[in-house]
Structure 1
Amino acid sequence: MVGAGVLGLPFAMSQIGWVPGTLAIIVSWVVTFYTLWQMVEMHEMVPGKRFDRYPELGKHAFGEKLGYWIVMPQQAIVQVASDIVYMVTGGKSLKKCADLVCPWLGQLRQTYFIMFFAFLQLLLSQTPNFNSLKGLSLLAAIMSVSYSMIAFVASIIRGSHHQYEHVRYGVRSHTTASIVFDIFNSLGTVAFAFAGHSVVLEIQATIPSSQQKPSKTPMWKGCIVAYAIVALCYFSVAVAGFWAFGDLVEDDVLVSLEKPRSIIAIANFMVFIHVLGSYQVFAMPMFDIIESNLVKKLHFTPGRPLRLIGRSTYVVLTAFVGICLPFFGGLLGFFGGLAFSSTSYFIPCIMWLILYKPKRWSFHWTASWISIIVGVVITILGPIGGARSIIMSAKTYKLFS
């Protein structure tokens, strides 16, 4: 649940300010925690049947054809967007690590570091399924919590030197138009940090289930633990990172931090290891879609050649986009609003209203509609701010630099 989006939260705070930024993270945490509970509950809402994929639940709620085309494109965008951002994050973090440990190696272009990350993903992509990733997922989870805590502590140390310099805590932009677009982008950035819903059903599908011991019981316990850790990591990194650097914080807070050099280098390497595993978690559902279509439509034979062709093509394409558009902050805002807000904030609520039909003004009716309104606002505004941020960054960017 703790994704690389946590590193962009101080930047989001610098775009929107202390109070609105903190409020945006709190509201997002509460809303997505509620919708996560809905997803877990709906996994086995039909006795004897499990909805192991997001589109399967969508078909049950909206109808066979409409449900598939409402949910599948949204989920696919989330998966692909996450992997593009993780390509950029992996390369960027490894380059920062190299800059700190081996300055001569850090002179290499960021493009080469992204290509190295892609090469490792080509190898990892040949693992058969989610269960094969258990060890890697555990390592990635440890890494994400560890680098978040390092970012928090290092930011506190950096912030304690404020008596020697002036740090400004207003919003980073100076014109009204820029401030408005930055606010839009910050909403998308916060939404990107809550991306786990797109794979939660696939994860729950790996848990054994029976009438006496339904999968939702252990799954929900895991979700509670995960969201407690999410709260700890997100709020500590967001507040400490913004406090340390103010409106000058980078879109990746670990890029802003320089000292202690060895610890920051280790933290960046932890990010690299984390996204190495997270890329595969988000890629697995896409591999499933790609391979299913190759078998059904092009009559490929299931097996290693199919995995090699389909999965390698996907990895290469996400790497190419990441190399062409390595704008971490803009990508977070654009994709966070475009798809993450729908799959995490309001599609689960719409399905809940359709399937359970709660009474008007009851708790679940009210909570669902509040979540829908919050999600729709982010969906409309986030991509606008993110697109504008990418365009502004592209003006000074040299392709493949």
Structure 2
Amino acid sequence: MGEVDDIRSAPRTPRPAHTPPISAPPSQFHSPSLSRSPLLSTPDHPETTRATKTPNKSRTPSRFITPLGSPLRRALTPLGSPLRRALHLTKLDPQDAWLPITESRNGNAYYAAFHTLCSGIGIQALVLPVAFTILGWTWGIITLTVAFIWQLYTLYQLVQLHESTETGIRYCRYMQISSATFGERLANFLVLFPIMYLAGGTCVALIIIGGSTSRTFFQIVCGATCTAKPLTTVEWYLVFTCAAVLLSQLPNLNSIAGVSLVGAITAVGYCTLMWGISVAEGRLPNVSYNPIRASSQMVRVFDVLNALGIIAFAFRGHNLILEIQSTMPSSEKHPSRVPMWNGVRFSYLVIAMCLFPIAIGGYWAYGQLIPENGGMLPALYLFHGQTASQFLLGLTSLFVIINALSSFQIYGMPMFDDMESKYTTRMKKPCSWWLRAIFRAMFGYGCFFVAVAIPFLGSLAGLIGGIALPVTFAYPCFMWLKMKKPRIYSPTWWLNWGLGLVGMALSLLLIAAGIYIVIDTGIEVSFFKPH
């Protein structure tokens, strides 16, 4: 506390007993982009000792005394002190209070669990049994377990790296911590496209899934004797998009906590219904569990890589973890990582209770007969459309539609944030409500246009998934090495380097496998002709 004594060395007169204490302005303790900065007072220099000291009448009048928490007192700390170095690294960003991700900071562990569940369970999980047709029972379960533990570890790293106690900086977006780790140019090259795809590309996929499932739901509810003229596929896409755009008018990430809760409940609901109905109906006749063996060794290797990619891509949402955590208040005594990790642990316990049964139960029920395109969802209608309860089939479809609507909001939020950030940076003021509505409508209907214009985008999912895989499995390990700086050759150092390099190698192999599959099998290019 030498810097405090240096500041107080100037003589001063005692303060009157009735003078109220002067405190720092609230903005210093509740910055929209930072956690609270370290206080100057410590147990070794308690505040109470100052009031009991004998006054010295030769000191400076009290009106020139600056309080310990004021910006001026902070500015007078010695240049070489740790506190001054921390404050030098801290950059206040007033625009955070104008942007939808960081506009509200009253989140809690429950909100974190809702958002994480809604973003963590998706349609990708429904194709897990397809990976088992290549890997078989043993390697399928082992690979799924290893991938779950691996991504949970990188998730823990992101939660811990969200805020720095040394600098006071909160990394509220995945791109921010990527820029701090890799540098701005390298981060734009490595991270920007995967992040944009995981946000915008997922919203396009949700429109395709939500629109096509809406058509199926209409057919189930209407029945075989229905005389109403059904809508076309494009019209169903448009209906779903209009509902998604209307729901997207909620202002910020905290305001959609209820939407995420509904999305989480429906995701758990349709996963449970799918594997429950499949297991209850029993195994299909002549089902086989022998792994599919391709004719050539090259094709067999790429099939295995494709199966690994399916399992890896089933775990999503890492690109949103920092954004979710940024909605929480944080201080030195109550850091946001504690409630965030509590919410994440609960949500991933529920996610594990969904993914493992749907992978194991789905493969047990259908074996090699499960459809490669879509997995459990088309298998349910194909094999049990006539025998299963129509109410349960309709309820499953309804849950898929509601979950797609809810997931659209949380995956679209980084795109909304980026669009508004460009406006606030240029105009130096927050977006008005009508401009925010226009931005979100433009994004929603832009995704609709892509879904209609490029309906074969799902055929490239393996290729693009390989590009996006390091966001979940590799980059957090390198971030940990850069930020935490573990001792060289320590177990933590070896673990993170190993996982990071294996993740990057797996990404390159999946990209190669995706290119090979596209060239070998081809894709059905049908612009503006959705199925």
- What TM-score do the two structures reach when normalised by structure 2? 0.69
Select the residue among 350, 357, 360 that pairs with 1:236: 357
Which secondary structure does the structure 2 equivalent of 1:224 belong to? Answer: helix
Does structure 1 residue 400 correspond to structure 2 residue 526?
Answer: no
Structure 1 residues 21 and 318: alpha-carbon distance in aligned structure 2, compared to 1, 3 A threshold: farther
| Partner residue in 2 for 1:188 | 309
Counterpart-to-counterpart distance in 2, 1:193 and 1:45: 30
| Partner residue in 1 for 2:335 | 214
| Partner residue in 2 for 1:116 | 239
| Partner residue in 2 for 1:342 | 470
Counterpart-to-counterpart distance in 2, 1:285 and 1:238: 30
After the TM superposition, which residues 19-30 of structure 1 pair with which residues of structure 2 at under 5 Å, given as runs?
19-30=138-149
| Letter of the structure 1 residue corresponding to residue 330 of structure 2 | S
Aligned residues of 2:454 and 2:526 also touching (Cα < 8 A): no
| Partner residue in 2 for 1:138 | 261
Larger displacement relative to structure 2 (264-273 or 28-37): 264-273
Aligned residues of 1:6 and 1:193 also touching (Cα < 8 A): yes
| Partner residue in 2 for 1:266 | 395
| Letter of the structure 2 residue corresponding to residue 21 of structure 1 | G
Select the residue among 288, 304, 309 that pairs with 2:417: 288
Aligned residues of 1:189 and 1:332 also touching (Cα < 8 A): no
Give 1:6 deviation, angstroms: 1.1
Which secondary structure does the structure 2 equivalent of 1:17 belong to? Answer: helix
Larger displacement relative to structure 2 (131-140 or 98-107): 98-107
Counterpart-to-counterpart distance in 2, 1:26 and 1:324: 38
Give 1:328 deviation, angstroms: 8.3
Counterpart-to-counterpart distance in 2, 1:274 and 1:388: 33
Give 1:244 deviation, angstroms: 1.1
Give 1:330 deviation, angstroms: 3.5
Higher relative contact order (CA 8 A, sep 6+): 1
Select the residue among 291, 308, 312 that pairs with 2:437: 308
Give 1:35 deviation, angstroms: 0.4
Number of matched pairs: 397
Which secondary structure does the structure 2 equivalent of 1:126 belong to? Answer: coil
Select the residue among 492, 509, 519 that pairs with 1:364: 492
Aligned residues of 2:283 and 2:364 also touching (Cα < 8 A): no
Counterpart-to-counterpart distance in 2, 1:172 and 1:46: 52
Aligned residues of 2:161 and 2:483 also touching (Cα < 8 A): no
Counterpart-to-counterpart distance in 1, 2:161 and 2:352: 24
After the TM superposition, which residues 32-181 of structure 1 pair with which residues of structure 2 at under 5 Å, given as runs?
32-47=151-166, 48-67=168-187, 69-103=189-223, 104=226, 108-158=231-281, 160-162=282-284, 165-172=285-292, 174-176=294-296, 178-181=299-302
Counterpart-to-counterpart distance in 1, 2:515 and 2:215: 25
Counterpart-to-counterpart distance in 2, 1:356 and 1:362: 13
| Letter of the structure 2 residue corresponding to residue 3 of structure 1 | G
| Letter of the structure 1 residue corresponding to residue 142 of structure 2 | L
Give 1:359 deviation, angstroms: 2.6
Larger displacement relative to structure 2 (18-27 or 104-113): 104-113
Give 1:201 deviation, angstroms: 0.5
Per-residue CA deviation, residues 25-83 of structure 1 (Å, 9 max, x unaligned), is 21211111000000000011244321111122122223355445543333222112221
Give 1:227 deviation, angstroms: 1.5
Counterpart-to-counterpart distance in 2, 1:267 and 1:167: 24
Does structure 1 residue 31 correspond to structure 2 residue 150?
Answer: yes
| Runs of 4+ in structure 1 over 6 Å off | 298-301
Does structure 1 residue 317 correspond to structure 2 residue 439?
Answer: no
Aligned residues of 1:89 and 1:328 also touching (Cα < 8 A): no
Structure 1 residues 77 and 112: alpha-carbon distance in aligned structure 2, compared to 1, 3 A threshold: same
Select the residue among 381, 385, 404 that pairs with 1:275: 404
Which secondary structure does the structure 1 equivalent of 2:501 belong to? Answer: helix
Aligned residues of 1:185 and 1:389 also touching (Cα < 8 A): no
| Letter of the structure 2 residue corresponding to residue 188 of structure 1 | G
Structure 1 residues 267 and 326: alpha-carbon distance in aligned structure 2, compared to 1, 3 A threshold: farther
Structure 1 residues 326 and 156: alpha-carbon distance in aligned structure 2, compared to 1, 3 A threshold: farther
Larger displacement relative to structure 2 (195-204 or 321-330): 321-330
Aligned residues of 1:13 and 1:186 also touching (Cα < 8 A): yes
Counterpart-to-counterpart distance in 2, 1:101 and 1:137: 26
Bigger helix share: 1
- What TM-score do the two structures reach when normalised by structure 1? 0.89
Note the residue ranges of structure 1 that are not aligned, 5 or more in a row.
none
Aligned residues of 1:118 and 1:315 also touching (Cα < 8 A): yes
Note the residue ranges of structure 2 that are not aligned, 5 or more in a row.
1-119
Structure 1 residues 137 and 389: alpha-carbon distance in aligned structure 2, compared to 1, 3 A threshold: farther
Aligned residues of 1:90 and 1:272 also touching (Cα < 8 A): yes
Identity of aligned residues (%): 32
Per-residue CA deviation, residues 115-140 of structure 1 (Å, 9 max, x unaligned), is 22111122122221101111100000
Alignment root-mean-square deviation, CA: 2.7
Counterpart-to-counterpart distance in 2, 1:155 and 1:397: 33
Counterpart-to-counterpart distance in 2, 1:180 and 1:361: 33
Aligned residues of 1:188 and 1:386 also touching (Cα < 8 A): no
| Letter of the structure 2 residue corresponding to residue 229 of structure 1 | V
Counterpart-to-counterpart distance in 2, 1:208 and 1:298: 28
Structure 1 residues 286 and 361: alpha-carbon distance in aligned structure 2, compared to 1, 3 A threshold: same
Per-residue CA deviation, residues 316-351 of structure 1 (Å, 9 max, x unaligned), is 222222234445864543332221x11111111111
Structure 1 residues 66 and 42: alpha-carbon distance in aligned structure 2, compared to 1, 3 A threshold: same
